[in-house]
Amino acid sequence: MLSLSKSASAGSKIAGILAAGTVPSLYAAGANERIRLALLGCGGRGTDTILNCIRLNKGVSITRVCDVNTTKLASVAKRVAAGNRAAGVAGAGAAPAASTRMEDVFADTGVDAVWVSTPEHWHTLASIYALRAGKHVYVEKNLSVNIWEGRQLVRAAREHRRVVQVGYQNRSAPYGFAARDYIAAGKLGSIVTVKCYGLLGGGKVKRTPDRAAPPAYLGAEGWDRWLGPAPARKFNSAIVSEHGRGGWNYFWAYSGGNLADDSSHVFDLARLALGDPAHPRAVYAVGGNRVFGGESETPEVISVVFDFGQFSLSCDTTAAGNGYMTKTPREIRFDPKRFPTWRNNLSRIEIYGTKGMMYLGRHGGGWQVLGAGNKIVEQCPGRFPDDEHQTNFIAALRGTAKPNGDVEQGHLSSCMVHLANIAHRTGNHHLVFDAATEQFTAATAAGDATGSESEILAAANRLARGTHRKGYEVPEYAA
């Protein structure tokens, strides 16, 4: 959504800023010092969470907002000023500096941490730019749009010694920790299989004609900056909206589709409950636009199975659950005594062990374990943990806690999205994956496409590596 530059001269200028900037210590501030945040990407989710963060945490304010969409930028600057005042920032200091250029954020030595809530294709690069400028990072899911760039972000965080909290908020859910401990204690027995669901509603996606020129709220430069590391193309209103979210999640260049949008949270919570296993050793996926027959690049429906060795993990993600599948209602998300109706909960996890089966909710809702005779043998309620995740981030900056959503685990969970999509995009194949090299090493042509094993592997590993437009390359970090 934002970029550093589109020319060599501008790129050189930013490189100078990053090289000359004063790099702070590992933690941004002491326990009693003010922490200053900057928002990159003025969409609904990012704005809501950063405002909630300063509401929850004393001594935290938002000093900058940045977006190439000038309509959203102006609107969010007003919301942030009001939020700052409510958080105790007085006078003119409550109004954040507003810019369409993210380099202004990175050059500001008064910014301690950057809140990256751009579309997904910018998450990795914007986070690395922030790290190189000495800033800490809160970055929304999905962490990356390919496997290789996500690994570079992990390495960048370690090299620059900065906190990176990924917006998988279930990492801060007390009921998630309780589920992990229950399973680790052997109370479910040996885990046999895990089933995840992301049964969202949806509709038929239609393409719209390209425009000769971008609209005024972006302009030619703003559109180029929005594209950033993605391939150059003409503006299309099906991708970007002046006021709303836009349809960028239907295009491979900018997103991993419905898997990235919702099921990535389910993957991450499942991994947490299972003790954070490393990469699966194989993946098989099948999907396509089989529900509405729309024109989305990312599939309307996809089913995937991962081989974790001791157990399998599957996920069904669709755009067909209109009406009869629901997210956990707000009155249950924030009520520590109530549980969802599991059978029509669209975003849930089922963990099957030799001694029982656990239902686990990702929007709060806690968990329940069923034993013989369909009896509830154990349960743990839980609230939606946005507050806890944002409080944990600030505690990590102050050096009083470790980040719950550490970048390494965020990368491993994000890679489950990439693995599934790559298996689908190469023809719905069964692919073997090497966790050490993060490369595909074998393939079985069990799907829709033809080709030799070497051709399938080459295509899969190209997608794992991805490409980045000249001038917006993701830097490579040594292992």
pLDDT tens digit at each of 479 positions of the chain: 333 333 332 333 344 434 433 334 455 555 558 999 999 999 999 999 999 999 999 999 999 999 999 999 999 999 999 999 999 999 999 999 999 999 999 999 999 999 999 999 999 999 999 999 999 999 999 999 999 999 999 999 999 999 999 999 999 999 999 999 999 999 999 999 999 999 988 889 999 999 999 999 999 999 999 999 999 999 999 999 999 999 999 999 999 999 999 999 999 999 999 999 999 999 999 999 988 999 999 999 999 999 999 999 999 998 766 678 888 999 999 988 899 999 999 999 999 999 999 999 999 999 999 999 999 999 999 999 999 999 999 999 999 999 999 999 999 999 999 999 999 999 988 999 999 999 999 998 665 556 789 999 999 999 999 999 999 999 999 99
Catalogue the E-assigned strands of 340-460: 348-353, 357-361, 367-370, 376-380, 430-434, 439-444
pLDDT attached to residue 360: 98
pLDDT attached to residue 15: 42
**Count of alpha carbons within 13 Å of 134, Cβ hemisphere only?**
17
SS3 assignment, position 155:
helix
What digits encode the pLDDT tens for the residues 357-404?
A: 999 999 999 999 999 999 999 999 999 999 999 999 999 999 999 999
**Count of alpha carbons within 13 Å of 428, Cβ hemisphere only?**
12
Tell me the one-letter amino acid at 231.
P
- Both tokens assigned to 268: 């991450």
pLDDT attached to residue 201: 83
β partners of residue 40: 66, 116
Residue 161 has a CB neighbour count (10 Å cut-off) of 13
The dihedral formed by the CA atoms of 360, 365, 366 and 368, expressed in degrees to the nearest 10: -60
How many angstroms separate the CA atoms of 431 and 442, rounded?
Answer: 6
- Interior CA angle at 286 toward 431 and 351, to 5°? 85
How many angstroms separate the CA atoms of 469 and 391, rounded?
Answer: 36
Q: Which of 140, 171, 133, 170 is nearest to 28 (CA)?
A: 133
pLDDT attached to residue 323: 75
Q: What is the mean pLDDT of the chain?
A: 92
SS3 assignment, position 444:
strand
- Residue in this structure with the two tokens 């003790």, named with its chain if needed: 275
- Residue in this structure with the two tokens 């922030």, named with its chain if needed: 130
**Architecture (CATH level 2) of domain 174-203+256-384:** 2-Layer Sandwich (3.30)
Contact partners, residue 171, CB within 8 Å, separation at least 6: 268, 272, 389, 404, 405, 409
Q: Which CATH number fits domain 8-170: 3.40.50.11030, 3.30.465.10, 1.10.600.10, 3.40.50.720?
A: 3.40.50.720
How do the domains of the chain map onto residue ranges?
8-170, 174-203+256-384
Element (H, E) at 54: helix 44-56
How many angstroms separate the CA atoms of 122 and 114, rounded?
Answer: 13
